[in-house]
Amino acid sequence: MTNAVVVDTDVVSYLFKSHPIAFQYLPDLKDRIPIISFMTLAELDRWVLDARWGETRRVQHGDGRTVFFSIGRPVQWL
């Protein structure tokens, strides 16, 4: 059994914003390898664009989505 877990976009958002709901997911992530889908990565990129984050804010926050999460790639193309 692998210790990887796919993390939903909403959960990533809660964690990133330190939303109170995020804390209920922490036990499920403990000692696991968190993975986000390529679609979650795209949604997070869109979120940054829609929020009109400038270069300064992007640098301040770093690339948290790839620092804390591995990116899952599709295994089979449909």
| DSSP string over the chain | ---EEE--HHHHHHHHHT-GGGGGTHHHHTTSEEEEEHHHHHHHHHHHHHTT--HHHHHHH-SHHHHH-EEE--SS--
Phi/psi at 6 (5° precision): -85, 130
Q: Residue-wise pLDDT tens for the chain (78 aa)? A: 578 888 998 998 888 888 999 999 999 999 998 888 888 888 887 887 887 877 776 666 655 555 567 777 666 554
pTM of the model: 0.69
